[in-house]
Each structure stands twice: as C-alpha cells, then as structure tokens.
Amino acid sequence: MSHLEKDSFGAKLGMWLFLFTEMLLFGGVFILYSVYLTRYPKEFGLGGHQLDLVYGATNTVVLLSSSLLAAMSVTAIKTGAKKLTLGLLSGTVGCAFIFLGIKYLEWSAKFHHGIYPNAPKLIAGPPGESIFFSLYYLTTGLHGIHVIVGAVLMSWTAVMVHKERINVTDNVTLENVTLYWHLVDLVWIFIFPLYYLIL
C-alpha cells in the first residue's frame, strides 16, 4: 500500500468516525422527539398541520438534487473533468442557499404568526404543542447549521479543485466532503416526515 493510499484510508476512516458521532447527535434528538410524541400525539399532529408542506417538500427536492450533484462531482473529478466538477460543486452550493432561503421564509412566517419558542401563543396553549415547536426549531436549526457548514466545505473544496490540489489522482477530500453532505441530506429525509407529514 502506497503512502497516498494509507493517507486516503486514514482520512476516510476519520470521516466515517466523525459521521458516526453526528448520527449519535441527531439520533438523540429523534429519540427525544419519539418520547414526547408518545406522550402528546394529538398536540404533535396539530403542530405538524401548522407547518407548510410545500416548503418542506420543496426543500426535500432541493437537498436530494444537491446530493445528486455532489455525487456526480466525485465521478467528474475522477475522470479529470475539472470544469464539470466545479460546475457540479457550484450547483450543490446553490442548492444549499436555496434550502436556507426557503427555511428563512418558513421561519419568518412562523415568527410572524407568533409561533416560536416561549411565545405567548404557545405558552397559553397545550404543553404538547409548545414542545413540538421547540423540538422543531431545535432540530431544523441544528440541521440548518450543518447545511451552512456543508456549503462552506463545498465552496472550499471547489477552490481546491480550481487550484488543482484536488485532482484526478488525489480526491479523497472531495469524497469526504460529499459524504458529509449526504449525511446532511439523510437527516432531512428523517426530519421531513417526522414534522411535516405527521398525522
């Protein structure tokens, strides 16, 4: 095994270990959600019906598209297609900004209607509804931070591709950043049905 292959193996192993800790983080949040859902099923259902399904579904399509673009960028760099790789990475980052923009509009609408943590409207209502929206903001906020981090990493990776520090023979960094982005996408695949499709 060459020195480059050893470095690549170590980098990939390190990324998988990091992703495992991320899964533990979001797994804990989802377990907390499950516990309170069991206790307040009716209130969670009412809370879910107040979320905008169109926003949620659109963001799901946006993230799925971004993951496809990210995966295609890995294939492109391995064939030496530098310009195509940069275009695909730009598309991925663009999708991230679209996702964040939609989330901003959604949060703004909720705040405008007095639905936010510790809002008088929620405090005066049933406790289960307040817990639902607290978990909603916690989960989507935490996920949003990961989207921002992912966008920054993708942008930095694009710069490295442009400088040819990531190239056809050395592209493990792009693979790892793409793995991280796939995790961000996967987490949203869980968030969408738990909050937006709850009955």
Sign of the C-alpha dihedral computed for residues 166, 23, 197 and 135 taken in this order: negative
Helices H, strands E: what count in the chain? Answer: 7, 0
Position 190 scores a pLDDT of 96
More confident residue, 65 or 123: 65
Among the residue ranges 6-15, 23-32, 47-56, 126-135, the one predicted with the least confidence is: 6-15
User: 5 falls in which pLDDT band (50, 70, 90)?
Assistant: low
List the structure tokens of 124. 């005066």
Distance CA(35)–CA(132), nearest Å, equals: 11
SS3 of 46-83: HHHHCCCHHHHHHHHHHHHHHHHHHHHHHHHHHCCCHH
Average pLDDT over residues 69-79: 97
pLDDT of residue 26: 96
Q: Could you give the domains of the chain?
A: 3-196 (1.20.120.80)
Is residue 8 pLDDT above 90, yes or no? no
d(CA 60, CA 176): 22
Q: Once rounded to an integer, what is the mean pLDDT over residues 69-77?
A: 97
- HEC secondary structure over 11-29: HHHHHHHHHHHHHHHHHHH
Q: The whole model's pTM is what?
A: 0.93
The answer on pLDDT for 171 being more than 60 is yes
Amino acid sitting at position 33: Y
Rounded mean pLDDT of the chain?
93
**Rounded Cα distance, 87 and 98, in Å:** 16
C-alpha closest to that of 10 among 144, 172, 139? 172
Pairwise CA distance, residues 73 & 171, whole Å:
10
Q: Element (H or E) spanning 197, and its range?
A: none
User: Residue 172's pLDDT band (boundaries 50, 70, 90)?
Assistant: very high
Tokens of 169: 């023979």
CA distance 51 to 42: 15
Q: Quick one: how far is CA 2 from the chain centroid?
A: 35
Query: Residue 13 above 90 pLDDT?
Result: no
**Quick check: 7 pLDDT over 80?**
no
Mean pLDDT throughout 160-168?
A: 95
Share of the chain above pLDDT 70, in %: 96
